[in-house]
Amino acid sequence: MTTFRSMWSELTPIGRDPVSGGYHRPGWSAAERDLRRWFGDQCAARGLALESDAIGNVVAWWRPAGVDGSPAAAAGVVTGSHLDSVPDGGAFDGPLGVVSALAALDCLRDEGFVPDRPLGVAVFVEEEGSRFGLPCLGSRVATGAVDAARVLALRDRSGTPFIEVLEQAGTGVDPALLAGGGQSWLGSVRTFVELHIEQGRRLAEPTVGASGPVGVATAIWPHGRWRLDVTGRADHAGTTRMQHRADPMLAAATTVLAAHQQAGSTDSRATVGRIEAVPNATNAVPSAVAVWLDARAETEHGLSTLVDAVTDQVRERARLDGTVVEVVLESFSPRVEFDALLRDRVAATVGATLASRPNAAPAPLLPTQAGHDAGVLAAAGVATAMLFVRNPTGVSHSPAEAASLDDCEAGVDTLAAVLADLAGRRSTVPEWAGGEPGATS
């Protein structure tokens, strides 16, 4: 299969840091615009019809000729992912799903397959939330899961308003369109399937991944981001005695240690990956420190317990230091259970597609602790499934993120088979438990 490899080689130089080897592709940046331009060119070359919404989420449709105009026939099957990255991120997180989707459509066409319902390839904007701090921003807007006023109030790290960023990028947006999902094309989506690099090691473990390079998601852990604003008193680093200080950095340090301690004792996840100090001077006690806590747990109760335990320790530390802590919830995603009927059907298709490989076995079913646009769509009532391609080290959100090209091509094969099954004869496709086609709420 040369299609996937040739497309992948075109993408890998875009936004790559020549020193670290990582990728810098924040939403609406020059690198991300280059990727989206590349996607548009690929769609045009395939005769796919592009459709976009208020903030730049796009879907490229393969609409078969002769499909009747009934709602059931018009409800499409969509695959895809995102093109943006975290700062200094890996190559596969997001773009793998987009390139694989285009390659899967090529496979189907080469086989002479003609779908009985529209097939689409989607690209969601700002999935990582690395620019505006709200992950899955594009899919949240598309499903109406985030209030329009909140979106309009967003600013990036440099203080640039959201609307201004879109205007600079040449997309622009009518604020009125953000209400009600921004006139999203999701209303015509019946089923969504996202292929993604596994952001963990389970498929690489012999006891789990013996069936091959592709697994199927069962659920997404609940997760969120909290900002802790600690306010103290600026002072001189040399002349101010330690007992006379109101140093907010001590509560910030407690956040890091408490997160590690509490998550480690409960098999949850808690991370402090971003800290900002004011005035951020080497020889000054800071007046304020902002700390961002990323927390994830298997259940929503477990997540709440974890965050409460961390913030209680931070508040006690602040009380001792004479500083003040304010905790702000920036984003929250509840636990998502993927539709069991759709999941099992996809798993059966994956297993059958890879059956000829050595040591073949049923496709592994596994939960994920990472957030995805697929989770947002599933929570909004769209029947959704996810495929994971094996990651030999489990490293992600890092330049070391990796997958073999052979495994990627196995992902393309399985995705093509899944799409053919879901977009084939309408009489063979049941209504998923998630509700009516394209339902969003």
Same domain, 328 and 339: no
| pLDDT tens-digit map of 228-249 | 999 999 999 999 999 999 999 9
Is residue 44's pLDDT more than 90? Answer: yes
Domain identity same for 320 and 200 = no
pLDDT value of position 176: 59
The per-residue pLDDT for 211 is 55
- When pLDDT is averaged across residues 139-165 and rounded to a whole number, the result is 89
- For the chain, the average pLDDT equals 89
Note the pTM of the prediction, 2 decimals: 0.88
Does the residue 339 lie in any domain? yes
* pLDDT for residue 205: 81
| Domain presence at residue 438 | no
DSSP strand pairing (269-278 vs 288-296): antiparallel
> The domain that contains 216 carries what CATH number?
3.40.630.10
Rounded average pLDDT over 181-195: 80
Domain boundary, last residue among 288, 307, 333: 333
Residue 435 pLDDT more than 70?
Answer: no
Residue 103's pLDDT band (boundaries 50, 70, 90)? very high
Confidence of residue 437 (pLDDT cuts 50, 70, 90): very low
Pair (142, 288) in one structural domain: no
Does pLDDT of 439 surpass 50? no
Residue keyed to tokens 């602040």 = 318
Check whether 126 has a pLDDT greater than 60. yes
**pLDDT higher than threshold 60 for residue 396:** yes
Assess whether 65 and 100 both reside in one domain: yes
Q: Tell whether the model's pLDDT for residue 172 goes beyond 70.
A: no
**pLDDT for residue 434:** 43
Domain count of the chain?
2
Domain assignment of residue 440, yes or no: no
More confident residue, 211 or 371: 371
Could you tell me if 136 and 278 lie in one domain?
no
Q: Could you tell me where the beta strands, DSSP code E, fall in 297-405? A: 324-333, 336-337, 365-368, 383-389
Comparing C-alpha atoms, which of 295, 369, 301 is closest to residue 336? 369
Q: Is the pLDDT of residue 218 over 60?
A: yes
Q: What is the CATH number of the domain that holds 310?
A: 3.30.70.360
Q: Where in the sequence is the domain holding 56, given as residue range(s)?
A: 2-221+335-428
Q: 143 in a domain, yes or no?
A: yes
What stretches of 243-282 adopt beta strand conformation (E)? 269-278
* Domain boundary, last residue among 304, 333, 362: 333
Instruction: Give 208 or 116, the one with higher predicted confidence.
Output: 116
Given this model, what pLDDT does residue 363 score? 87
Statement to judge: residues 13 and 125 lie in one domain = yes
Q: Is 439 a member of any domain?
A: no
Among the residue ranges 166-180, 348-362, 371-385, the one predicted with the least confidence is 166-180
Domain-embedded: residue 122: yes
pLDDT in tens, 411-434: 999 999 999 999 985 434 445 544
269, 155: one domain: no
Range with lowest mean pLDDT among 114-123, 174-183, 264-273, 380-389:
174-183
Which pLDDT tens digit goes with each residue over 338-352? 999 999 999 999 999
Residues 66 and 149 in one domain: yes
Residue 17 within any structural domain of the chain: yes
**436 or 251, greater pLDDT:** 251
**What CA–CA distance (Å, rounded) separates 258 from 256?**
6
Q: Are residues 207 and 272 in the same domain?
A: no
**Distance from C-alpha of 159 to C-alpha of 221, rounded to nearest angstrom:** 31
Estimate to the nearest angstrom the gap between the alpha carbon of 299 and the chain centroid: 19
Predicted pLDDT of residue 436: 42
Does residue 433 form part of some domain? no
Whether residue 249 is found in the same domain as residue 201: no
Q: Give yes or no: residues 213 and 97 share one domain.
A: yes
- Domain end residue (candidates: 282, 317, 333): 333
Shared domain for 160 and 60, answered yes or no, is yes
Q: What is the pLDDT of residues 254-296, one digit of tens each?
A: 999 999 999 999 999 999 999 999 999 999 999 999 999 999 9
Closest CA to 25 of 13, 9, 40: 13
Q: So what's the pLDDT on residue 210?
A: 52
**Token representation of residue 183:** 């006139």
Percentage of the chain modeled with pLDDT above 70: 88
Query: What DSSP letter does each residue of 23-69 carry, written as one string?
Result: B---TTSHHHHHHHHHHHHHHHHTTPEEEE-TTS-EEEEE--TT--S
